[in-house]
């Protein structure tokens, strides 16, 4: 009986959630008890809700230890129609910010854990928390995230005023606090200083856990310093902050989880940091990061690493040209160091997601794939009209016969190519951006770095008029107005 009780308790703890769940019977009373809360109205069958659930859970775990704590709540609208009806919920998931039981605002922020945490922190209090006691400071410093404290002899100092401006600007990215208390300045031996504290979970022998600002007291310089220092040698990279990382960037993907497995996470991170430190000491500019392989699975797919198995990290990189590379072989410090050296020395073969190069490729519409893109689209001797399409796209299917007719009419133009590329099966290179289908660009000869997005008429005559006007040299068969030239007898 005792064993059964132990097992039941263990299972309960294993599946304990930091997300509070309210119902029609208690929502009003319980939500009124919170100064601030985020509420998710969901349906169990909703796919978007299922996708949000692990991110919402992770955010709840972080925010319950915030100062002040910010509870995350959920309400099942299939079982609690009265509450969901009261707040006008018509789609799932719907998120709303509540203050003292009343709706404060609709939540339109990020839907990843980092983004939710940062958004709600800005709603929880001032952009910089005032520290009055040593206990306040210790609590702030012991937090699981980076924090910046300004130690000032007076709040009227210009440095203190500048610091608060920085806190206002970066409150979505960083925790800030300040103090003018003599006891705190004496305790930490800082006076009119700005100091960044690294959370304990990230601390290692490879970098200092505390950094003091030593440059001019301008908003721009302090902001830049905070953003750089808060990354450190090997930061945790997620969907929420991925775009902030510079290249060349080397990322190790594995089961990164500082909530449930800090020791295992740092086991691999310390090995990566050893390599990062070596490159830093050598003065070589290359950036390192770790990412959760499940959260960033879409990114692994971009590198062709969908079927990775095992517990060891897999490593991928992008260089300054945004080319992609993957590290072959099993993870080791030696293998990682070799991979990074070859990346910096441009000795690696880039990874390209590409269909096979078609052969022959002699139809009026030329087929571009990632491996022949330079040959066809970036050919400096040709103007090129390129359509990026998806095989399942209805609009693309409707366009196909018109695009073929266009190519047929222009097949004898020696300085013009009509091309298409399946953007779902091939990497789309920079500077082309494809967010919908079909997307069409005109790439003029001699200026391939600045392709022009086509937003005109998608009928054959519309395409011809555009190409006749924009072609580098006048077309053989059409004048600049798109009128067909008379054939000489």
Query: Residue 98 — φ and ψ, nearest 5°?
Result: -110, 145
Asked about 46 being catalytic, the answer comes back as yes
Of these residues, 49, 77, 84, 234, which one is catalytic? 49
Of these residues, 77, 84, 234, 396, which one is catalytic? 396
Q: What is the DSSP letter of 359?
A: S
Separation between Cα atoms, residue 470 and residue 440, nearest integer Å: 14
Separation between Cα atoms, residue 423 and residue 439, nearest integer Å: 9
Sign of CA dihedral 18, 33, 101, 81: positive
Strand 314-318 to 324-326 pairing = antiparallel
Strand 128-130 to 287-292 pairing = unpaired
Q: What is the DSSP letter of 391?
A: T
SS3 54: helix
SS3 139: helix
Spatial strand order of the sheet with 72-76 comes to 20-21, 72-76, 37-42, 94-99, 102-106
The full DSSP string for 443-465 is E-TT-TTS-EE--S--SHHHHHH
Name the packing angle between helices 262-281 and 333-344 (round to 10°): 40
SS3 215: coil
Asked about 84 being catalytic, the answer comes back as no
The tokens describing 42, both together, are 């969901």
The tokens describing 291, both together, are 């990412």
Separation between Cα atoms, residue 72 and residue 357, nearest integer Å: 51
Asked about 234 being catalytic, the answer comes back as no
Q: CB burial class (10 A; 0-12, 13-18, 19+) of residue 431?
A: exposed
The tokens describing 220, both together, are 């721009």
Annotated active-site positions, please?
46, 49, 393, 396
């Amino acid at each position: 009986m005792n064993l059964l009780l132990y097992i039941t308790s263990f299972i309960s703890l294993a599946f304990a959630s930091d997300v509070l769940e309210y119902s029609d019977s208690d929502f009003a009373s319980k939500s009124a008890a919170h100064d601030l809360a985020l509420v998710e109205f969901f349906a169990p069958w909703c796919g978007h809700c299922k996708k949000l659930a692990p991110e919402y859970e992770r955010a709840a775990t972080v925010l319950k230890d915030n100062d002040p704590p910010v509870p995350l709540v959920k309400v099942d609208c299939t079982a609690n129609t009265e509450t969901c009806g009261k707040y006008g919920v018509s789609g799932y998931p719907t998120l709303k910010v509540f203050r003292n039981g009343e709706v404060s605002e609709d939540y339109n922020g990020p839907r990843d854990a980092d983004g939710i945490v940062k958004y709600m922190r800005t709603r929880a209090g001032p952009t910089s928390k005032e520290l009055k006691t040593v206990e306040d400071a210790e609590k702030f410093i012991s937090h699981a995230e980076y924090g910046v404290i300004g130690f000032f002899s007076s709040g009227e100092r210009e440095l203190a005023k500048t610091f608060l401006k920085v806190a206002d600007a970066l409150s979505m990215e960083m925790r800030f606090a300040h103090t003018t208390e003599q006891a705190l300045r004496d305790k930490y031996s800082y006076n009119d200083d700005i100091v960044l504290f690294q959370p304990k979970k990230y601390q290692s022998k490879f970098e200092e856990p505390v950094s003091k600002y030593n440059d001019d007291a301008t908003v721009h310089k302090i902001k830049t310093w905070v953003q750089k220092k808060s990354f450190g040698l090997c930061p945790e990279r997620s969907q929420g902050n991925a775009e902030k990382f510079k290249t060349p960037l080397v990322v190790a993907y594995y089961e990164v989880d500082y909530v449930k497995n800090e020791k295992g996470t740092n086991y691999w991170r310390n090995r990566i940091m050893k390599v990062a430190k070596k490159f830093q000491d050598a003065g070589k500019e290359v950036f390192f990061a770790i990412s959760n392989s499940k959260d960033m699975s879409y990114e692994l797919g971009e590198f062709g690493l969908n079927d990775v198995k095992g517990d060891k990290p897999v490593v991928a990189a992008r260089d300054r040209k945004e080319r992609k590379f993957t590290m072959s072989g099993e993870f080791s410090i030696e293998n990682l160091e070799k991979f990074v050296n070859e990346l910096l020395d441009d000795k690696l073969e880039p990874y390209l997601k590409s269909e096979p190069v078609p052969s022959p490729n002699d139809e009026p519409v030329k087929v571009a794939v990632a491996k022949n893109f330079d040959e066809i689209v970036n050919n400096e001797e040709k103007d090129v009209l390129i359509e990026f399409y998806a095989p399942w796209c209805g609009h693309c299917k409707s366009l196909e016969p018109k695009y073929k007719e266009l190519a047929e009419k222009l097949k004898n133009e020696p300085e013009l190519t009509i091309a298409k590329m399946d953007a779902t099966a091939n990497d789309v290179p920079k500077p082309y951006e494809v967010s919908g289908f079909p997307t069409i660009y005109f790439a003029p000869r001699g200026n391939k770095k600045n392709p022009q997005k086509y937003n005109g008429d998608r009928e054959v005559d519309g395409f011809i008029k555009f190409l006749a006007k924009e072609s580098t040299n006048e077309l053989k068969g059409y004048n600049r107005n798109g009128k067909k030239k008379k054939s000489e007898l």
